[in-house]
Amino acid sequence: MDREYYYKTIGGDGSLDYEIYLNTHQLLQCQKPYDQLAVPDELQFQIVHQVEELWMKLMAFTLLDIDDYMRASNANRVMTLFRRVNQILTMMMMQLDLLETMSPKEYQEIRLQLGNGSGQESPGFRTLLKMAPELWEGYEAGFLKDGRTLEQVYNTDYSHDDAYMVAECLAEFDELFQKFRYHHLQLIARSIGLGSKSLKGRPVEMLERGVKKQFFPQVWEIRGKMTDDWGASYGVIRDSITPKAH
Ligand code: HEM
Protein backbone atom coordinates (compact mmCIF):
# COMPACT_ATOMS: atom_id res chain seq x y z
CA MET A 1 0.00 0.00 0.00
CA ASP A 2 1.09 3.57 -0.62
CA ARG A 3 2.05 4.65 2.91
CA GLU A 4 2.58 8.35 2.10
CA TYR A 5 -0.81 8.57 0.38
CA TYR A 6 -2.64 7.06 3.34
CA TYR A 7 -0.78 9.15 5.91
CA LYS A 8 -2.22 12.16 4.08
CA THR A 9 -5.80 10.86 3.85
CA ILE A 10 -5.85 9.90 7.56
CA GLY A 11 -5.07 13.52 8.44
CA GLY A 12 -7.60 15.06 6.02
CA ASP A 13 -7.11 18.65 4.93
CA GLY A 14 -9.44 20.18 7.51
CA SER A 15 -11.72 21.88 4.97
CA LEU A 16 -15.02 19.99 5.43
CA ASP A 17 -17.67 21.01 7.95
CA TYR A 18 -17.12 17.82 9.98
CA GLU A 19 -13.40 18.55 10.15
CA ILE A 20 -13.93 22.21 10.97
CA TYR A 21 -16.43 21.56 13.76
CA LEU A 22 -14.31 18.84 15.38
CA ASN A 23 -11.05 20.57 14.64
CA THR A 24 -9.70 17.27 13.31
CA HIS A 25 -6.82 18.93 11.51
CA GLN A 26 -5.32 20.14 14.77
CA LEU A 27 -6.37 17.04 16.70
CA LEU A 28 -4.62 14.66 14.31
CA GLN A 29 -1.43 16.65 14.47
CA CYS A 30 -1.11 16.28 18.22
CA GLN A 31 0.99 13.14 17.78
CA LYS A 32 4.60 12.85 16.65
CA PRO A 33 5.06 12.85 12.86
CA TYR A 34 5.23 9.28 11.56
CA ASP A 35 8.88 9.57 10.56
CA GLN A 36 9.90 10.61 14.08
CA LEU A 37 8.34 7.71 15.99
CA ALA A 38 10.99 5.74 17.91
CA VAL A 39 9.05 2.54 17.11
CA PRO A 40 5.59 2.16 15.51
CA ASP A 41 4.06 1.40 18.95
CA GLU A 42 4.88 4.93 20.06
CA LEU A 43 1.85 6.21 18.17
CA GLN A 44 -0.39 3.94 20.24
CA PHE A 45 1.38 5.05 23.43
CA GLN A 46 0.74 8.72 22.70
CA ILE A 47 -2.83 8.25 21.52
CA VAL A 48 -3.87 6.18 24.55
CA HIS A 49 -2.48 8.83 26.90
CA GLN A 50 -4.09 11.66 24.96
CA VAL A 51 -7.47 9.94 24.84
CA GLU A 52 -7.29 9.30 28.59
CA GLU A 53 -6.55 13.01 29.16
CA LEU A 54 -9.66 13.89 27.15
CA TRP A 55 -11.80 11.49 29.20
CA MET A 56 -10.44 12.99 32.43
CA LYS A 57 -11.31 16.46 31.15
CA LEU A 58 -14.89 15.35 30.55
CA MET A 59 -15.01 13.61 33.93
CA ALA A 60 -13.78 16.68 35.82
CA PHE A 61 -16.23 18.93 33.96
CA THR A 62 -19.08 16.55 34.78
CA LEU A 63 -18.08 16.30 38.44
CA LEU A 64 -18.44 20.07 38.76
CA ASP A 65 -22.05 19.72 37.61
CA ILE A 66 -22.57 16.77 39.92
CA ASP A 67 -21.41 18.86 42.86
CA ASP A 68 -23.90 21.63 41.98
CA TYR A 69 -26.76 19.14 41.59
CA MET A 70 -25.90 17.42 44.87
CA ARG A 71 -26.02 20.73 46.70
CA ALA A 72 -29.44 21.32 45.08
CA SER A 73 -30.58 17.82 46.23
CA ASN A 74 -31.34 16.90 42.61
CA ALA A 75 -30.77 13.15 42.84
CA ASN A 76 -32.01 12.29 39.33
CA ARG A 77 -29.47 14.58 37.68
CA VAL A 78 -26.72 13.36 39.98
CA MET A 79 -27.44 9.71 39.18
CA THR A 80 -27.49 10.28 35.41
CA LEU A 81 -24.25 12.22 35.47
CA PHE A 82 -22.53 9.73 37.78
CA ARG A 83 -23.51 6.98 35.35
CA ARG A 84 -21.58 8.93 32.70
CA VAL A 85 -18.54 9.47 34.92
CA ASN A 86 -18.47 5.86 36.06
CA GLN A 87 -18.80 4.60 32.49
CA ILE A 88 -15.85 6.78 31.47
CA LEU A 89 -13.74 5.31 34.28
CA THR A 90 -14.64 1.79 33.12
CA MET A 91 -13.62 2.66 29.56
CA MET A 92 -10.38 4.24 30.72
CA MET A 93 -9.52 1.02 32.48
CA MET A 94 -10.18 -1.04 29.37
CA GLN A 95 -8.18 1.36 27.23
CA LEU A 96 -5.10 0.86 29.41
CA ASP A 97 -5.16 -2.78 28.27
CA LEU A 98 -4.33 -1.66 24.72
CA LEU A 99 -0.82 -0.89 25.92
CA GLU A 100 -0.39 -4.51 26.97
CA THR A 101 -0.09 -5.31 23.23
CA MET A 102 3.29 -3.53 23.34
CA SER A 103 6.38 -5.67 24.02
CA PRO A 104 8.61 -4.76 27.00
CA LYS A 105 11.52 -4.11 24.59
CA GLU A 106 9.53 -1.75 22.39
CA TYR A 107 8.38 0.12 25.47
CA GLN A 108 11.99 0.55 26.60
CA GLU A 109 12.67 2.29 23.27
CA ILE A 110 9.69 4.60 23.79
CA ARG A 111 10.67 5.23 27.40
CA LEU A 112 13.94 6.76 26.25
CA GLN A 113 11.85 9.52 24.63
CA LEU A 114 10.02 10.59 27.79
CA GLY A 115 12.58 12.75 29.58
CA ASN A 116 11.70 12.47 33.27
CA GLY A 117 7.98 12.78 32.59
CA SER A 118 5.60 11.03 34.96
CA GLY A 119 1.90 10.20 34.94
CA GLN A 120 1.77 12.11 38.22
CA GLU A 121 2.13 15.26 36.15
CA SER A 122 -1.14 14.49 34.31
CA PRO A 123 -3.30 17.62 34.62
CA GLY A 124 -6.51 15.60 34.43
CA PHE A 125 -5.47 13.12 37.11
CA ARG A 126 -4.19 15.85 39.45
CA THR A 127 -7.45 17.73 39.07
CA LEU A 128 -9.53 14.65 39.82
CA LEU A 129 -7.46 13.82 42.90
CA LYS A 130 -8.13 17.29 44.24
CA MET A 131 -11.76 17.49 43.26
CA ALA A 132 -13.07 14.10 44.34
CA PRO A 133 -12.85 14.41 48.14
CA GLU A 134 -14.63 17.79 47.93
CA LEU A 135 -17.67 16.00 46.54
CA TRP A 136 -18.40 14.67 50.00
CA GLU A 137 -19.22 18.19 51.19
CA GLY A 138 -21.69 18.53 48.32
CA TYR A 139 -23.31 15.22 49.34
CA GLU A 140 -23.61 16.26 52.99
CA ALA A 141 -25.08 19.64 52.02
CA GLY A 142 -27.73 18.12 49.75
CA PHE A 143 -28.57 14.76 51.32
CA LEU A 144 -27.53 14.73 54.98
CA LYS A 145 -29.51 17.76 56.02
CA ASP A 146 -30.86 18.46 59.53
CA GLY A 147 -28.37 16.15 61.21
CA ARG A 148 -29.27 13.05 59.20
CA THR A 149 -26.50 10.45 59.39
CA LEU A 150 -25.18 7.83 57.01
CA GLU A 151 -26.07 5.27 59.68
CA GLN A 152 -29.73 6.26 59.27
CA VAL A 153 -29.50 6.26 55.46
CA TYR A 154 -27.93 2.79 55.28
CA ASN A 155 -29.30 1.08 58.36
CA THR A 156 -31.68 2.40 61.01
CA ASP A 157 -33.99 4.40 58.66
CA TYR A 158 -33.05 2.57 55.46
CA SER A 159 -35.57 3.17 52.68
CA HIS A 160 -33.44 2.99 49.50
CA ASP A 161 -34.13 6.72 49.03
CA ASP A 162 -32.25 9.48 47.18
CA ALA A 163 -29.65 9.85 49.93
CA TYR A 164 -28.88 6.12 49.66
CA MET A 165 -28.78 6.05 45.85
CA VAL A 166 -26.44 9.04 45.61
CA ALA A 167 -24.14 7.61 48.31
CA GLU A 168 -23.93 4.42 46.24
CA CYS A 169 -22.94 6.50 43.17
CA LEU A 170 -20.10 7.96 45.25
CA ALA A 171 -19.10 4.46 46.39
CA GLU A 172 -19.06 3.22 42.79
CA PHE A 173 -16.96 6.16 41.64
CA ASP A 174 -14.51 5.55 44.49
CA GLU A 175 -14.31 1.82 43.73
CA LEU A 176 -13.78 2.35 39.99
CA PHE A 177 -11.05 4.91 40.62
CA GLN A 178 -9.20 2.41 42.79
CA LYS A 179 -9.70 -0.27 40.14
CA PHE A 180 -8.26 2.08 37.51
CA ARG A 181 -5.18 2.58 39.66
CA TYR A 182 -4.84 -1.17 40.17
CA HIS A 183 -5.18 -1.80 36.42
CA HIS A 184 -2.48 0.80 35.79
CA LEU A 185 -0.23 -1.02 38.27
CA GLN A 186 -0.78 -4.27 36.37
CA LEU A 187 0.16 -2.48 33.15
CA ILE A 188 3.41 -1.42 34.80
CA ALA A 189 4.03 -5.02 35.88
CA ARG A 190 3.61 -6.09 32.23
CA SER A 191 5.86 -3.39 30.78
CA ILE A 192 8.67 -2.28 33.12
CA GLY A 193 8.14 -4.56 36.13
CA LEU A 194 7.06 -3.61 39.64
CA GLY A 195 10.54 -3.73 41.16
CA SER A 196 11.86 -0.88 38.98
CA LYS A 197 12.16 2.85 39.53
CA SER A 198 10.11 5.53 37.76
CA LEU A 199 11.74 8.13 35.49
CA LYS A 200 11.83 10.39 38.54
CA GLY A 201 13.78 7.72 40.42
CA ARG A 202 10.90 6.80 42.73
CA PRO A 203 10.11 3.15 43.41
CA VAL A 204 7.09 1.97 41.46
CA GLU A 205 5.79 0.27 44.63
CA MET A 206 4.86 3.77 45.79
CA LEU A 207 1.85 3.51 43.48
CA GLU A 208 0.50 0.66 45.61
CA ARG A 209 -0.36 3.21 48.28
CA GLY A 210 -2.53 5.06 45.76
CA VAL A 211 -4.44 1.88 44.95
CA LYS A 212 -5.63 1.76 48.57
CA LYS A 213 -6.65 5.44 48.68
CA GLN A 214 -10.35 5.99 49.34
CA PHE A 215 -11.97 9.33 48.49
CA PHE A 216 -15.02 8.73 50.65
CA PRO A 217 -14.01 6.52 53.61
CA GLN A 218 -17.44 7.18 55.15
CA VAL A 219 -19.29 5.02 52.59
CA TRP A 220 -16.91 2.12 53.34
CA GLU A 221 -16.80 2.51 57.11
CA ILE A 222 -20.58 2.32 57.41
CA ARG A 223 -20.51 -1.22 55.99
CA GLY A 224 -17.97 -2.38 58.56
CA LYS A 225 -19.90 -0.70 61.35
CA MET A 226 -23.10 -2.44 60.27
CA THR A 227 -21.33 -5.80 60.27
CA ASP A 228 -20.09 -5.15 63.81
CA ASP A 229 -23.50 -3.94 65.01
CA TRP A 230 -25.50 -6.74 63.42
CA GLY A 231 -22.83 -9.24 64.48
CA ALA A 232 -23.15 -8.11 68.10
CA SER A 233 -26.20 -10.37 68.35
CA TYR A 234 -23.97 -13.44 67.94
CA GLY A 235 -20.65 -12.19 69.31
CA VAL A 236 -17.38 -12.69 67.48
CA ILE A 237 -17.85 -16.25 66.24
CA ARG A 238 -21.22 -17.44 65.20
CA ASP A 239 -22.81 -20.78 66.08
CA SER A 240 -23.12 -23.16 63.14
CA ILE A 241 -26.57 -23.52 61.57
CA THR A 242 -25.89 -27.19 60.76
CA PRO A 243 -28.29 -29.32 62.82
CA LYS A 244 -26.42 -31.09 65.63
CA ALA A 245 -26.30 -34.89 65.35
CA HIS A 246 -27.96 -36.53 68.41
C1 HEM B 1 3.33 1.21 29.51
C2 HEM B 1 2.56 2.14 29.98
C3 HEM B 1 2.79 2.85 31.27
C4 HEM B 1 3.81 2.76 32.17
C5 HEM B 1 5.03 1.86 32.11
C6 HEM B 1 3.53 3.69 33.22
C7 HEM B 1 4.36 3.88 34.32
C8 HEM B 1 4.11 4.73 35.35
C9 HEM B 1 5.00 4.94 36.47
C10 HEM B 1 6.35 4.27 36.68
C11 HEM B 1 4.40 5.84 37.29
C12 HEM B 1 4.98 6.41 38.60
C13 HEM B 1 5.55 7.76 38.28
C14 HEM B 1 6.34 8.49 39.37
O15 HEM B 1 6.88 7.89 40.27
O16 HEM B 1 6.41 9.72 39.27
C17 HEM B 1 3.14 6.20 36.69
C18 HEM B 1 2.22 7.07 37.23
C19 HEM B 1 1.05 7.40 36.61
N20 HEM B 1 0.64 7.06 35.33
FE21 HEM B 1 1.47 5.69 34.16
N22 HEM B 1 2.35 4.31 32.98
C23 HEM B 1 1.86 3.86 31.78
C24 HEM B 1 0.70 4.24 31.15
C25 HEM B 1 -0.17 5.18 31.62
C26 HEM B 1 -1.37 5.62 30.95
C27 HEM B 1 -1.90 5.14 29.61
C28 HEM B 1 -1.93 6.55 31.73
C29 HEM B 1 -3.19 7.25 31.37
C30 HEM B 1 -3.86 8.00 32.13
C31 HEM B 1 -1.09 6.71 32.90
C32 HEM B 1 -1.32 7.55 33.96
C33 HEM B 1 -0.56 7.63 35.10
C34 HEM B 1 -0.96 8.38 36.26
C35 HEM B 1 -2.26 9.16 36.41
C36 HEM B 1 0.04 8.23 37.21
C37 HEM B 1 0.03 8.76 38.65
C38 HEM B 1 -0.65 7.65 39.43
C39 HEM B 1 -0.78 7.81 40.90
O40 HEM B 1 -0.24 8.76 41.47
O41 HEM B 1 -1.43 6.94 41.51
N42 HEM B 1 -0.03 5.86 32.81
N43 HEM B 1 3.00 5.51 35.50
**233 pLDDT higher than 90:** no
**236 pLDDT higher than 80:** no
Instruction: Calculate the average pLDDT of the chain.
Output: 94
Instruction: Identify the residue with better confidence: 11 or 203.
Output: 11
Please tell me whether residues 19 and 106 are part of one structural domain: no
CA distance 60 to 65: 9
In a domain, 214, yes or no: yes
- The total number of structural domains that make up the chain: 2
Rounded (10°) angle between helices 75-96 and 162-191 = 10
Whether ligand 1 lies within 6 angstroms of the CB of 67 is answered as no
Give the ligand 1 atom nearest the CA of 188. Answer: 5
CA of 49 to the centre of ligand 1 (A): 10
pLDDT score recorded for residue 27: 97
Please tell me whether residues 79 and 5 are part of one structural domain: no
Pocket test of ligand 1: the residue of 120, 202, 206 to mutate, having most ligand atoms within 8 Å of its CB, is: 120
Please tell me whether residues 96 and 171 are part of one structural domain: yes
Share of residues in the chain with pLDDT > 90 (%)? 82
Instruction: State which residues form the domain around 69.
Output: 42-224
pLDDT in tens, 31-58: 999 999 999 999 999 999 999 999 999 9
Q: Which segment of 76-85, 175-184, 207-216 scores lowest on mean pLDDT?
A: 207-216
**235 pLDDT higher than 80:** no
Whether ligand 1 lies within 6 angstroms of the CB of 182 is answered as no
The stretch 175-197 carries a mean pLDDT of 93
* Cβ atoms within 10 Å, residue 191: 19
pLDDT score recorded for residue 240: 86
Q: What CATH number is given to the structural domain containing 170?
A: 1.20.58.480
Count the helices and strands in the chain (H runs, E runs): 11, 0
Share of residues in the chain with pLDDT > 70 (%)? 100
Which positions ≥6 away from 131 have C-beta within 8 Å? Answer: 60, 63, 64
Please tell me whether residues 2 and 78 are part of one structural domain: no
Task: Supply the residue whose CA is at minimum distance from atom 21 of ligand 1.
Answer: 119
pLDDT score recorded for residue 200: 78
Please tell me whether residues 112 and 199 are part of one structural domain: yes
CA of 10 to the centre of ligand 1 (A): 29
Please tell me whether residues 76 and 12 are part of one structural domain: no
Are the C-beta atoms of residues 94 and 110 closer than 8 Å to each other?
A: no
CA distance 53 to 178: 17
Are the C-beta atoms of residues 16 and 24 closer than 8 Å to each other?
A: no
pLDDT in tens, 200-212: 777 777 888 889 9
Please tell me whether residues 20 and 129 are part of one structural domain: no
In a domain, 133, yes or no: yes
